[in-house]
Amino acid sequence: MNRNGTVLVVDDEEIMREILDALLAREGYEVRLASSGQEGLEIARAMPIDAAVVDVMMPGMDGLAVLDEIKKVDEDIAVIMITAFASVETAIAAMKRGAFDYVTKPFKNDEVLVVLRNAIERVRLVAENRALRQNLQERYSQFGNIIGRSQRMRQVFDLIIQAAPSRSTILIGGESGTGKELVARAIHSNSPRASRAFITVNSGNLPPDLLESNLFGHVKGAFTGAVYPKKGLFELADKGSIFFDEIGNIPLETQPKLLRVMQEREFMRLGGVENIKVDVRIIAATNVDLHRMMEEQRCREDLYYRLHVITVQLPALRERKEDIPLLVQHFLHKYGEENQKPDLELTPGALDLLLEYDWPGNVRELENVIERAVVLSTGATIDEELVPEQVRNRPVFKMPQFTLPPEGIWFNDVTADFERRLIESTLEAAGGVQKRAAELLHLKPTTLNEMIKRHDIRPRRRRAENGSTDEAAAVEPAEERRQDGGAEVDVLVNGKGRKADG
Ligand SMILES: Nc1ncnc2c1ncn2[C@@H]1O[C@H](COP(=O)(O)OP(=O)(O)OP(=O)(O)O)[C@@H](O)[C@H]1O
Ligand SMILES: [Mg+2]
Residues having CB closer than 6 A to ligand 1 are 146-148, 174, 176-182, 285, 287, 330, 363-364, 367
Closest CA to 24 of 106, 102, 115: 115
pLDDT of residue 461 exceeding 50: no
Residue 183 is predicted with a pLDDT of 96
Q: Which ligand sits nearest to residue 172's alpha carbon?
A: 1
What is the average pLDDT across 321-333? Answer: 93
Q: Whose CA is nearest to atom 9 of ligand 1?
A: 179
The ligand whose atoms approach the alpha carbon of 371 most closely is 1
Cα 138 to averaged position of ligand 1 atoms, centre (Å): 22
Angle at 497 between CA 494 and CA 502, to 5 degrees: 90
- Rg (C-alpha) for the chain, rounded Å, is 36
Q: If pLDDT is split at 50, 70 and 90, which confidence band does 502 have?
A: very low
Q: Which of 245, 140, 139, 136 is nearest to 185 (CA)?
A: 245
What is the reported pLDDT for 2?
Answer: 52
Res. 442 pLDDT band, cuts 50 70 90 = confident
The whole-angstrom separation of Cα 23 and Cα 112 is 9
Please report how many Cα atoms fall inside a 13 Å half-sphere around the Cα of residue 442, on the Cβ side: 1
Closest C-alpha among 445, 452, 457 to residue 482 = 445
What does the pLDDT read at residue 135? 59
Lowest mean pLDDT among 82-91, 174-183, 301-310, 376-385: 82-91
Q: Is the pLDDT of residue 121 over 70?
A: yes
Within 8 A by CB and 6+ apart from 262, the residues are 169, 282, 303, 306
Banded model confidence at residue 4, pLDDT cuts 50, 70, 90: confident
CA–CA distance, 241 with 15 (Å, rounded to integer): 75
| High-pLDDT (> 70) share of the chain, % | 86
Give, rounded to a whole angstrom, the gap between the first and last alpha carbons of the chain: 74
Sign of CA dihedral 122, 126, 131, 137: positive
Q: What are phi and psi of 198, to 5 degrees?
A: -120, 110
pLDDT > 60? residue 474: no
Output 482 or 190, whichever has higher pLDDT: 190
d(CA 447, CA 445): 5
For atom 18 of ligand 1, the residue with the nearest CA is 179
Note the helical H segments in 97-244. 109-141, 151-163, 180-189, 208-216, 233-236
DSSP-derived pairing of the beta strands 230-231 and 30-34: unpaired
Distance 229 CA to ligand 2 centre (A): 30
Q: Where are the beta strands (DSSP E) in 279-404?
A: 281-286, 310-313, 345-346, 381-382
Residue nearest to atom 15 of ligand 1 (CA): 179
235-259 residue pLDDT tens: 999 999 999 999 999 999 999 999 9
| pLDDT at residue 128, as a whole number | 76
Cis, bond preceding 405 (omega within 30 deg of 0): no
How many Å lie between the centroid of ligand 2 and the Cα of residue 140? 22
- Report the chain's mean pLDDT, rounded to a whole number: 85
Cβ 92 vs Cβ 127: under 8 Å: no
- pLDDT, one tens digit per residue, over 351-409 is 999 998 989 899 999 999 999 999 999 999 999 999 998 898 755 566 777 788 888 89
Model confidence pLDDT, tens digit, residues 285-298: 999 889 989 998 99
Give the pLDDT of residue 395. 57
Ligand nearest to the CA of 324: 1
User: Residue 289 Cα, ligand 2 centroid: separation in angstroms?
Assistant: 15
Average pLDDT estimate for 299-313: 94
Give the nearest ligand 1 atom to 148 CA.
1
The answer to whether 427 and 434 are in contact (CB under 8 A) is yes
Res. 476: pLDDT tops 50: no
**224-236 residue pLDDT tens:** 888 888 899 999 9
- Tell me the three state secondary structure of residue 76: coil
Evaluated on CA atoms 436, 437, 440, 441, the torsion sign reads negative
Mean pLDDT of the 455-472 span: 54
CA atoms within 13 A on the CB side of 372: 14
297: left (phi over 0), alpha (psi -120 to 50) or beta: left
What pLDDT, in 10s, does the model give residues 162-221?
999 999 999 999 999 999 999 999 999 899 998 889 999 987 778 888 899 999 999 988
21-37 per-position pLDDT tens digit = 999 999 999 999 999 99
The reported pLDDT for the residue numbered 501 is 38
